[in-house]
């Protein structure tokens, strides 16, 4: 979202999206052409530029580097990604080429605040940190203002966490422009994150994006000052993680306060830290409670840990993949429960088949002691089938526990890591194909859980084992309409 100084818009239709996004922020000049025998001077040709102005705000910050992350990797590339330095009162100004301007709606804008920059409220910056402004999915105009502050940074932090959960991390300008489904998902996530932040901070969307110093908005200013403590601590922690995982594709660190987590875990005004690392086939996630406001580098309580690894599995022609994830969660009595989940999937005749097994939970006194139970005796088993038919995408998930008749179905498909040569994929296909997985199938199956999905264009319909129906419709403005029903025909807006 931008604040507009006028309604005048420059037409930058998405149909131009195939144009590349280059670096640099100065107008290009064509050198004079000399013809013989009589030299003739040709006037320089200026490339049209589109401006973007704004402020860097904690207090107002001068001497900070503002840059556009066109390739979505979170790393500043001076050769291809345009940048400027903020000046007095935090002011900055870009002059983008038309190609660069096309990427502004799809790219995160970062601010690197170095030691030595000047915060007009607090003086010289003594601890470096980073702020950000999320993709807006709105075409850039010559009259836009983009204020970057701790409040806008929280939007991107929360948005990026949601994208990671859905597997859509590292979004580049080109990836978004060319993938309408991914773009629609991002628009939906932006809407959801903004709704949550407005409720969480009790600040309006306008307050979050505004120059809260100029408007003398003490509520927004106080929130920003608290948030920036987390930003500085997270920036320092991320530097350590970057050194620890030099070959990781992505490293994220977020330090924040959360009243919902306080209520869940029984804390008061606590600080939390999320660590996310994508390193090759491995995903590492950790969430902890930190000691206190003055010690945001020390862990008080580990809340959860997840470690997931992907490896190829079975016949290469079937795109087989095995994912094994170890989970550690804190219990109410401050002990820890541990479990593992394995999932093997492969594709045959444009249908994706999957099996997952969850081990029983085992309790330990500390998180470091956690060792999961053997997957040979799973607590829960699941089967999934997904496919595309007549322009719609379908997915069905079934789950079975010991009391369900199909819990022992395909009983040899457990702890499958080293069994690829012993298991026949056709056996799995035959069993799953016989299940009532089609969206309109009568589903009178003895399962602990099942859910069916149908996605067509901007509408997703879900029906569940409890007989509940849900319909999510993405409107043209990117917002979502959530409806509920009991028969798939009559709908009312969900409460």
> For position 57, what pLDDT does the model report?
94
Highest mean pLDDT among 6-10, 125-129, 162-166, 254-258: 125-129
Alpha-carbon distance of 316 to 470, in angstroms, equals 37
Q: What is the chain's mean pLDDT, rounded?
A: 84
pLDDT, one tens digit per residue, over 403-421 is 998 899 999 999 998 898 8
Mean pLDDT of 301-317: 92
Mean pLDDT of 106-119: 94
Judged by average pLDDT, the poorest of 261-275, 308-322, 468-482 is 468-482
- Neighbouring CB atoms inside 10 A of 308's CB total 16
Residue 301 pLDDT class (50, 70, 90 cuts): very high
pLDDT at 36 over 50: no
The verdict on pTM exceeding 0.85 is: no
Instruction: Report pLDDT for 198.
Output: 79
Instruction: Report helix angle 180-201 to 150-165, nearest 10.
Output: 130
377 occurs within a structural domain: no
Residue 34 falls within a domain, yes or no?
yes
Query: What is d(CA 188, CA 199) in angstroms, rounded to the nearest whole number?
Result: 17
Among the ranges given (111-125, 170-184, 251-265), the one the predictor scored with the smallest mean pLDDT:
170-184
Q: Which residues of 217-226 are buried (b: 16+ CB within 10 A; e: fewer)?
A: beebbebbee
Q: Is residue 304 part of a domain?
A: no
Residue 148 has pLDDT above 90, yes or no: yes
- pLDDT per residue as tens digits for the range 165-206: 666 666 788 887 777 777 777 777 787 778 777 777 778 888
DSSP state of 391: T
Does residue 421 fall inside a structural domain?
Answer: no
Cα separation of 235 and 180, whole Å? 33
φ, ψ (nearest 5 deg) of residue 118: -115, 120
- Beta bridge partner(s), residue 83: 67
User: Which secondary-structure segment (H or E) carries 91?
Assistant: strand 91-97
Which of 189-193, 241-245, 367-371, 463-467 has the lowest average pLDDT?
189-193
pLDDT at 371: 86
Asked if residue 100 belongs to a domain, the reply is: yes
Coil, strand, or helix at residue 157? helix
Q: By percentage, how much of the chain surpasses pLDDT 90?
A: 49
- Are 302 and 328 in contact by the 8 Å Cβ rule? The answer is yes
- Phi, psi dihedral angles at 351 (to 5 degrees): -120, 135
Q: How confident is the model at residue 2 (pLDDT cuts 50, 70, 90)?
A: very low
What pLDDT is recorded for position 479?
57
What confidence tier does 136 reach under pLDDT thresholds 50, 70, 90? confident
Q: Decide if 155 contacts 198 (C-beta within 8 A).
A: no
Listed in sequence order, the residues at least 6 apart from 15 whose beta carbon sits closer than 8 Å to its beta carbon are none
Whether residue 61 is contained in a domain is answered as yes
At residue 165, the pLDDT reads: 62
Q: Is the pLDDT of residue 224 over 70?
A: yes
DSSP string for residues in 304-338: EEEEEEEEE-S-GGGT-EEEEEEEEEE-TTS-EEE
Structure confidence at residue 184 (pLDDT): 75
Number of domains in the chain: 1
Cα separation, 53 vs 147, in Å, equals: 8
Domain that holds residue 85: 1-215
Residue 117 lies in a domain: yes
118-119 vs 492-493, strand pairing mode:
unpaired
**433: number of Cβ within 10 Å:** 11
Give the per-residue pLDDT at 230.
85
Q: What is the DSSP string of 428-439?
A: HHHHHHTSS-ST
- Measured CA to CA in angstroms, residue 409 lies from 47, 373, 446 at distances of 66, 21, 12
pLDDT classification of 481: cutoffs 50, 70, 90: confident
Q: What is the pLDDT of residue 356?
A: 94
d(Cα 25, Cα 96) in Å, to the nearest integer? 5
Q: What is the distance between the alpha carbons of residues 462 and 395, in angstroms, rounded to a whole number?
A: 10
Please tell me the predicted confidence (pLDDT) of residue 64.
96
Query: Which of helix, strand or coil describes residue 216?
Result: coil
Q: How far apart are alpha carbons 454 and 438 in whole angstroms?
A: 10
Query: Two tokens at 470?
Result: 């849900």
With a cut of 80, say whether residue 164 has pLDDT above it: no
Peptide bond into 37 cis (omega under 30): yes
Q: Is the residue at 129 inside a domain? A: yes
CA-to-CA distance for 393 and 413, rounded, in angstroms? 27
Q: At 286, list the tokens.
A: 């950790």
């Amino acid at each position: 979202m931008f604040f507009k100084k006028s309604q005048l818009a420059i037409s930058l239709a998405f149909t131009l999206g195939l144009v590349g996004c280059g670096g640099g922020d100065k107008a290009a000049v064509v050198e004079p052409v000399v013809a013989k025998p009589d030299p003739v001077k040709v006037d320089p040709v200026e490339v049209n530029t589109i401006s973007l102005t704004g402020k860097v705000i904690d207090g107002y910050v001068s001497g900070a580097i503002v840059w556009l992350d066109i390739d979505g990797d979170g790393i500043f590339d001076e050769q291809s990604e345009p940048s400027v330095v903020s000046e007095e009162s935090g002011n900055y100004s870009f002059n983008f080429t038309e190609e660069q301007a096309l990427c502004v709606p799809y790219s995160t804008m970062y601010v690197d605040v170095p030691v030595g920059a000047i915060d007009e409220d607090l003086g010289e910056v003594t601890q470096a940190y980073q702020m950000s402004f999320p993709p807006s999915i709105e075409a850039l105009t010559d009259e836009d203002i983009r204020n970057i502050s701790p409040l806008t940074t929280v939007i991107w932090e929360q948005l990026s966490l949601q994208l990671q959960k859905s597997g859509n991390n590292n979004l580049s300008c080109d990836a978004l422009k060319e993938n309408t489904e991914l773009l629609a998902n991002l628009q939906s996530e932006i809407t959801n994150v903004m709704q949550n932040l407005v409720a969480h901070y009790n600040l309006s969307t306008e307050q979050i994006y505004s120059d809260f110093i100029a408007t003398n908005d003490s509520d927004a200013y106080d929130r920003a000052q608290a948030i920036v403590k987390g930003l500085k601590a997270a920036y320092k922690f991320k530097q350590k993680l970057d050194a620890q995982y030099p070959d990781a594709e992505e490293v994220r660190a977020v330090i924040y306060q959360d009243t919902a987590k306080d209520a869940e875990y029984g804390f008061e005004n606590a600080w939390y830290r999320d660590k996310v690392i994508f390193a090759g086939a491995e995903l590492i996630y950790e969430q902890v409670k930190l000691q206190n406001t003055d010690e945001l580098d020390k862990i008080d309580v580990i809340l959860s840990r997840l470690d997931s690894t992907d490896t190829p599995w079975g016949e290469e022609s079937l795109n087989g993949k095995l994912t094994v994830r170890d989970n550690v969660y804190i219990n109410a009595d401050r002990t820890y429960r541990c479990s593992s989940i394995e999932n093997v999937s492969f594709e045959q005749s444009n249908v994706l088949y999957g099996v997952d097994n969850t081990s029983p939970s085992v309790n330990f006194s500390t998180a470091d002691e956690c060792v999961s139970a053997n997957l040979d005796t799973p607590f829960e088993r699941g089967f999934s089938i997904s496919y595309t038919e007549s322009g719609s995408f379908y997915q069905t998930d079934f789950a079975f526990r010991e009391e369900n008749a199909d819990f022992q179905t395909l009983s040899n498909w457990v702890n499958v890591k080293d069994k690829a040569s012993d298991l026949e994929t056709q056996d799995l296909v035959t069993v799953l194909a016989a299940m009532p997985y089609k969206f309109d199938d009568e589903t009178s199956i003895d399962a602990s859980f099942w859910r069916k999905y149908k996605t067509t264009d901007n509408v997703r319909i879900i029906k569940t084992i409890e007989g509940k129906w849900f319909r999510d419709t993405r409107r043209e403005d990117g917002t979502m309409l959530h409806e509920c029903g009991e028969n798939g025909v009559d709908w009312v807006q969900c409460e």
